[in-house]
Chain A
C-alpha cells in the first residue's frame, strides 16, 4: 500500500467546524430564550449543569482559543490593552476581556452571551479567578471560585472531600440563583456520556502509536473544542465515535499526517493556536510529526497518568471532584514527569519540545527543571522554544525554527 501525506481532514474538519458553530448558536439561542448562563473556567465540571433544566455554560478560554486560531487574537487582546490591561497578562484573558468590553465585535462567533454567574477554578491557574473577577466587578455578576489544592503528590482524600463539598455548594448556588430544580441522576447520565467520550478520545490519541502516526497532535488540539463545549452530551460521544472511525479508515487507506515520518515528537505546552498550520507544515517538510502532547493526553486522566480514569457509577460529584486535576496545570513537577515518561514510552517518542509560554506561568515555570530531569531520566533529546498560545505578536518564527532544526539534528546525532 502506498503511503501518502495527503492526510485529508476535510470530513472531520468540516464536521468540527459545524459542531463548533452549532454549539455557539445553540448557546446564544438558549440564552436569548432565558436560559441561565454560566461562564466557567475550562476545568469546572460542566456535567453539573446538566442536572438543571435550563442552565447553559460558556468557556471564555475556549472562545479565546477560537479567536486566536482564527487569527483575531492579537486584535481582540489590543482592545483590553488599550483599557489598561497589561500585555504581560495571559493572552486568553486579554482576548476575552477585549472581546467582552467591545460587545463581542471582532469575534468569529460574536462573543459569548452575558453570564448570570461566573465560576472559576484555580486548579488550572489562580489567574483565572482574577480574570473572572474583572467581569464580576464590571457587570455585578456573582462569581464563585472553586478552590482546588495544587497537587505536589496525588490528590488526597481530604482534598477530594474539600472539592466535592464546594461542588455541592455550587449546585446549591445555581439552584438558588436560577430558581431551577436539580436532579443528580441527570448529572450521573452526563458523567457517563463524558466518560464514554473520553474513552473515545484516548482511542483517538492512540492512533498516534502506529508508525507512521495516524494523527498529529495538531489534529488533537483542534479536536479538543467539542470536549470543552459539549461535555456530558450524547452528541459529543457521537462526534468522537465518527472521528475515530474516520481516522482509522484514513490510516487503512495509507493516509498519514506525515507519511515520511522520521521524527516522532512530543509537545509540552498549550497549543500554539495562531501557528498551528504553519508549524505543522514546516515540521512535516522535514519529516517531523508532533504526535503527542501533554495538553491533550492529560484529558480524562488522574495526576501522573495518561490512562483513562473511568466512571463506574459511583456518586458523580465525588468522581468529578477526583478528576479535578485532569489537566497538566494543577500538577506538580514529579507528577508531570511521571505522566510524560509514560507518554514517551507509550507513543515511542524521539524527542520532546517544551513550549515555554510567557502568557502561562503555571504551565511553563517548571519546564527548565522538568526538561533537565526528563533528559537525564529517559534520556531523550529535548528543546525549549518560546511561544505564546494566543498572541501572535509574541512569537518569533525564525528564531523558533532555527532551534527546532538544531533539535532535529540532535535526534539524528543521538541515533548515530
Chain B
C-alpha cells in the first residue's frame, strides 16, 4: 500500500480533493464533475505491508480486498481523503461504511460518507430504474451540500468525455497486451492505475504507453493464449511468472481491470440517463446480481473471440460472489474443451506465490501439450 499512499500524498500536495470510493464501479465522472479526484480503493494488496488497523475492526475471514481498503482508509483517511463514497455490492462491504466511520473519530475527525443503493434487480424494470435515478439525485444533493457548489451539466459532459477517452485507451492497451506488444505484468500495472491516478494523468500515461507499443510493432511469435478472471490482478511476482512462462493474456475478465473500464457510456450532460446506461450495460460481474444471467454468456463470448486456450481464475479468498459462480463456469468451459486453473489469492501479507507459480507452469505445459495434440 506504500505506493498507493505515496501517490495519494502527492495528489494531496498538488491540491487534489480526494474521494475514496468502494466498491469497484462508483460514479467517478459525477465525482470528477464536482471537482473531486475519485480514487477507487481496490486491489491495494500488492504493496500492503500490514493490516494492523484493519485487524482492529475486521475478522480475518473478511476478504483481502476489504481488509486492505479498510487499512488504507483508516490509516490514511484523516489526512488524505475529503470524502468516502460507497454503494452496496457484497455482504462484506455493506458493513464497512459504519466501521470506517466509527474508526475515523478515534483520530479526531469524521470523514463525510456518501452512500447510495445500487438496485440489485434488472435496471430494465421501471421500479429499479426510477429507484436508481432517485439515488443519483440524492447523491448529487449530498455532493452539492458537501462542496457548496451546484451541479453543472457542462462540467459533467466534460468529465464523461474524459472517462470515455480513458475507456477507449484502456481497451487499446488490453489489445496491446493480447498482441504481445507489452507484457501482461506491465499492462496490468498501468491499467490498475486507473483507480488511483487522476483520469487526466492516466489518459496521458496510457497514450504514452500506446505510442511506445506502436513503435515496437507487432509480435509474430505464436503464443499460448489464456484468459484471466477474478477480482484483482495477480500480485507482481505472479504476473511476471505468467509472462515468463510464455502465457499470453489475450482476454481479461478481472473486476478491477476489464470489468471496470470495459464500458463507458457516450458523453452526456444528464447524470440520471448516464448512470442508468452505465450500470445496465457494463460488463457482467458477480457483485452486480442483475448481471448474473449474462455472465457465463459473456465469458464464453470473450473466450471464443480471443481464441483463449484456457482460463486462469484468480480467486480472492472468502469472496463468495465469485466462488458461487465458479463451478458452473468451469463445467461450461470443460464442456467446450477449455481447461481452467484456480489460484486463490489471500491477503498480500500472507500470500505465498511460489506454489501458485508451480501450478501456473504445469498449466502452461498442459495447454502446450494439448495444442500439439499430445496425450
Contact = CB atoms under 8 A, between A and B. Distances in A.
B288 to A, nearest CB: 10
Contacts of A368: 56-59
Contacts of B292: 129-130, 133
B323 A86 contact: yes
Nearest to B342: A84
Interface string B119-154: 111000101100100100000000000000000000
B296 A162 contact: no
Question: Main SS of chain B's interface residues?
Answer: helix
A130 B321 contact: yes
Interface string A151-171: 010000010001001100100
Contact of B99 (A130, A165, A369): A369
Interface stretch (A57-65, A232-240, A262-270, A354-362): A354-362
11 contacts: A86-B326, A126-B120, A127-B324, A130-B286, A133-B324, A145-B121, A147-B120, A149-B88, A149-B117, A150-B88, A362-B95
Interface core residue of B57, B88, B117, B131 (most chain A CB under 10 Å): B131
Contact of B328 (A88, A131, A134, A369): A134
Interface residues of A, number: 44
B56 to A, nearest CB: 7
Interface in B81-118: 88-92, 94-99, 102-103, 115, 117
Nearest to B134: A158
Report, nearest first, the 3 A-B pairs whose CB atoms are least far apart: A84-B327, A130-B324, A358-B61
Interface in B315-356: 315, 317-318, 320-321, 323-328, 330
Contacts of B317: 88
B99 A366 contact: yes
B289 interface: yes
Chain B interface size, under 10 / 10 to 19 / 20 to 34 / 35 or more:
35 or more
B120 A333 contact: no
Given A86-B320, A365-B95, 11 more contacts: A85-B324, A86-B323, A88-B318, A130-B289, A133-B292, A133-B324, A149-B88, A158-B131, A358-B61, A362-B91, A366-B98
A127 B98 contact: no
A88 B323 contact: yes
Given A131-B324, A150-B94, A152-B98, A145 B117 contact: no
A334 B102 CA distance: 10
B60 to A, nearest CB: 9
Interface in A329-373: 332-334, 356, 358, 361-362, 364-369, 373
A158 B138 CA distance: 12
Contact of B120 (A122, A134, A169, A356): A122
B62 interface: yes
Contacts of B125: 169
Nearest to B103: A369
Nearest to A137: B328
Nearest to A129: B289
Given A89-B323, A369-B99, A138 B328 contact: yes
Nearest to B289: A129
Contacts of B89: 126
Contacts of A369: 57, 98-99, 102-103
A89 B322 CA distance: 10
Contacts of B330: 84
A242 B131 CA distance: 44
Nearest to B121: A147
Nearest to B332: A137
B195 to A, nearest CB: 22
B325 A129 contact: no
Contacts of A2: none
Nearest to A367: B59
A122 B94 CA distance: 11
Interface in B193-207: none
A11 interface: no
Nearest to A84: B327
Contacts of A166: 121, 127
A373 B102 CA distance: 10
B267 to A, nearest CB: 29
Contacts of B91: 125-127, 361-362, 365
Contacts of A147: 119-121, 128
Given A122-B120, A152-B98, A369-B102, A83 B59 contact: no
Interface in A158-188: 158, 162, 165-166, 169
B296 A89 contact: no
Given A147-B119, A166-B121, A333 B289 contact: no
B77 to A, nearest CB: 15
